Amino acid sequence: MAIGVFDSGVGGLSVHHRLVERFPAADFIYLADQANTPYGGRPGEEIVDLTRTGCERLFAEGCDLVVLACNTASGIALRRLQQTWLPGYRRGLGRPVNVLGIIVPTIEAATGLPWEHEAERRGDKVEKLDILAVFSTPATAASRVYEIEIDKRRQDVAVFSQPCPELAGLIEAGAPRDELAAAIAGHVKAIATRIGRAPDRAILGCTHYEITADLFREALPPGTPLIHQPQATADALARYFERHPEFTTGSDAVRRFLTTGRPGAQSSLVAAFWGAPLSFERA
Ligand code: DGL
């Protein structure tokens, strides 16, 4: 059975790319909800409904496992769907299906700790504070998921989130590089002003931003480590398959790319990232 990869648009391709490198023989179906992108400025209930609809579509296409390659969907919708929808839906389908997100693996990579580990609050003096910047959509920033979950695990890491309201939409539309560079430089400057200095590390907490990771690297002080969300997700999925042998990945190296929006060629920005022109079929 295929692995489904879901995003509001082209951002999840950054995760898909790394998953395919990790599981080259597996079958993959990518779904971009481009009819409704961007998600990051939408109310929470809409994000939950759109994410559920995307998962249903991928399960109907034959996927057993869906990776939400979207921080906004993972942070806002995943827990709700796991609690209120997935158990009944799974029973109705009569086969084991699951939905996984990308925030847990990212937090594990950022803290260097397994998800189950929560720090004891002993009130020890923190000798050196590690300042972690998270660039994300407004919905992810408003959820404070990175602040809350990292604070539970590491008292020596301080998280500052920078919402970037226009950025996913610009990337989705394939905006020119100078426009993207100016927007990214503005957000890097804004967060450094808020912190009072440059961050020590950063998370590109919206999968679209990976497509412009080079522009973030240019705007941040040279050598600032970026926590690589696609890699963290691929590592976490490999561990998941070890724990859950009931999920198989297919073995025909199927690659399908579906969109709820306009089918056809994606932007030259996407082609440059992908290394070749990429065309989507109608979902
Ligand atoms: N790529 C998505 C994320 O990681 C969503 C961007 C959007 O639709 O606003 O958050």
Q: What is the model's pLDDT at position 125?
A: 77
pLDDT digits (tens, 9 = 90+) for 74-107: 999 999 999 999 999 999 999 999 999 999 999 9
Q: How far apart are CA 115 and CA 234, in angstroms?
A: 16
55 is catalytic: no
Residue 137 CA to ligand 1 centre (angstroms)? 6
Q: Which atom of ligand 1 is nearest to the CA of 11?
A: 1
**Catalytically annotated residue among 55, 63, 164, 206:** 206
pLDDT > 70: what percent of the chain? 99
User: Considering the chain, what is the average pLDDT of its residues?
Assistant: 96
Mean pLDDT (whole number) for 127-145: 96
Asked if pLDDT for residue 5 goes beyond 90, the answer is yes
Listed in sequence order, the residues at least 6 apart from 29 whose beta carbon sits closer than 8 Å to its beta carbon are 2, 3, 4, 5, 58, 61, 62, 63, 254, 256, 258
Domains 2-104+230-282 and 107-228 share a fold: yes
Looking at the whole model, is its pTM more than 0.85?
yes
Q: Are 47 and 77 contacting, i.e. CB atoms less than 8 angstroms apart?
A: yes
Give the pLDDT confidence of 213-269 residue by residue, as tens digits: 999 999 999 999 999 999 999 999 999 999 999 998 889 999 999 999 999 999 999
The answer to whether 248 and 1 have CB atoms below 8 angstroms apart is yes
Mean pLDDT, to the nearest integer, of 155-171?
A: 97
Give the type of residue at 151.
Answer: D
Ligand 1 neighbourhood includes 103 CB (under 6 angstroms): no
Q: Which CATH architecture has domain 107-228?
A: 3-Layer(aba) Sandwich (3.40)
Alpha-carbon distances of 183 from 103, 177, 192, 257, 276, rounded to whole Å: 24, 10, 14, 29, 26
Q: What is the pLDDT of residue 179?
A: 98
What's the rounded mean pLDDT across residues 52-77? 97
Does pLDDT of 166 surpass 90? yes
Give the pLDDT of residue 259.
98
Residue 8 beta carbon below 6 angstroms from any ligand 1 atom? yes
Q: Can you give the length of the chain in residues? A: 283
Burial class from Cβ neighbours inside 10 Å (0-12, 13-18, 19+) for residue 92 reads exposed
pLDDT at 145: 97
pLDDT of residue 31: 98
pLDDT higher than threshold 90 for residue 118 = no
Q: What is the pLDDT of residue 248?
A: 86
CATH number of 2-104+230-282: 3.40.50.1860
Of ligand 1's atoms, which has the minimum distance to the CA of residue 39? 8
Overall average pLDDT of the 11-21 stretch: 98
Q: Where are the domains of the chain?
A: 2-104+230-282, 107-228
Distances (CA, A) of 188 to 132, 184, 198, 209, 228: 12, 6, 8, 13, 18
Measured CA to CA, the distance from residue 29 to residue 178 in angstroms comes to: 32
Residue with CA at minimum distance from ligand 1 atom 9: 40
Tokens of 95: 């086969």
**273 vs 119 pLDDT, higher one:** 273
Average pLDDT over residues 196-216: 98
Mutational pocket test of ligand 1: of 72, 106, 164, 204, the residue with most ligand atoms within 8 Å of the beta carbon: 72
Annotated active-site residue 70? The verdict is yes
With a 6 Å cutoff on the Cβ, whether 74 touches ligand 1 is no
